[in-house]
Structure 1
Amino acid sequence: MKKVSYISLLIILLSITVSSCKQKEVEGIKISETLYIHQDYRTNWELRHLIRQTLNKDSKALAGLANFNCGDGEACYELGFVITQITYKMGEADFINLLGQLDQKELSVLEGFIRVGLEYGDNDGNGKMDKKRIHEEFPGIYNLLSIK
């Protein structure tokens, strides 16, 4: 009986360990290397949760992404890339609906993230920086953010 208990405990511990491991991708959204390596398990889980919830059209999660502590420099550029991937995946119209529920500060921060995500992210999947511009890729978002 004791042997079964130890095996059960081992299986539970392994399950918890595996489920708490950091992940570099969630629902097709890639978390780039610099952003990923500066995260502990909890922070990585939080980012993945915010990504999932934003894809489920939760404006509070999008606000959470705007306020997510990415550190500085390259990791924040990579958070911008995460946000542009979300925008492409959910579509500009749905993303605009979420933006309509955010305050001015969050909109301003997201605009910056989208700009750097388009310019420095690999949104085409070709392994290179795209150097895309917000007014060309997301004209509706650009118009919304330019008005505010």
Structure 2
Amino acid sequence: MKRILTISIIHLILTLNSCKEKETSGIIIAETLYVHQGYETNKELRNLIQETLNKNEKAIPKMISFPCGGGAGCYDLGFVLTQIIYQIGEENFNQMVLRLDRNEIKGLRSLIRVGLEYGDHDNDGKVDDRKIENEFLILNETLKK
């Protein structure tokens, strides 16, 4: 009986992990962030991605404070944000940011910086040398204020 219960628990864990998704509406959740997520946190991140793509500015602070595990996982969260900006357009994202208060956007510039620096935006396996000052001129100015 104990063995059946153990096997059932292992099967349930494997099933839940297999329900996780690495991509939502064209936004890639990079490996380090993805592997440290359970099913529920993966679902939460995918929902935040979709809300942000739907131009719900209240999803941005939730995205900024999303538990990324530190280090490379947070770089991957920055990569998610930069992909969103490219997809919806810098001007649209900037308009969303303008509707938030300073506390809600604290840390956003840092996440964007590392997302640009460490993200594989060309999907070629190589990290680019992108900078917020060159890629997102309008947003950079908004976030410096």
Fold shared per TM-score above 0.5? yes
Deviations 1:51-78 (A, max 9, x none): 0000000011111101111110000000
Aligned to 2:119: 121
Amino acid at match of 1:103: D
Larger radius of gyration: 1
Q: Structure 1 runs of 4+ off > 2 angstroms?
A: 105-108
TM-score (norm 1): 0.84
Counterpart for residue 80 of structure 2: 82
Which of 134, 137, 146 is residue 135 of structure 2 equivalent to?
137
| Identity across the alignment (%) | 52
Q: Report the Cα distance in structure 2 between the residues aligned to 1:120 and 1:105, rounded to whole angstroms.
A: 25
Query: What value does the CA root-mean-square deviation take over the aligned residues?
Result: 1.4
Matching residue's letter, 1:90: I
Report the equivalent of 2:20: 22
Q: Once the two structures are superposed, what CA deviation does each residue of 1:14-65 show, in whole Å capped at 9, x if it has no partner? A: xxx68x8100000000001110010000000000000000000001111110
Residue 123 of structure 1: how far off its partner (Å): 1.1
Query: Which whole-Å CA distance do the structure 2 matches of 1:114 and 1:131 have between them?
Result: 13
The number of aligned residues is 130
Q: Which runs of 5+ in 1 are unaligned?
A: 1-16
1:69 maps to amino acid: P
TM norm structure 2: 0.85
Query: Bigger CA drift: 84-93 or 118-127?
Result: 118-127
Query: Which secondary structure does the structure 2 equivalent of 1:70 belong to?
Result: coil
- Mapped to 2, the partners of 1:136 and 1:107 lie a distance apart of 20
Name the CA distance, whole Å, in 1 between partners of 2:118 and 2:104: 21
CA contact (8 A) 1:67 1:106 kept: no
Contact 1:122 1:128 (C-alpha < 8 Å) held by counterparts:
yes
Letter in 2 for 1:87: I
List gaps (5 residues or longer) in structure 2. Answer: 1-14
Deviation at 1:108, TM superposition (A): 2.8
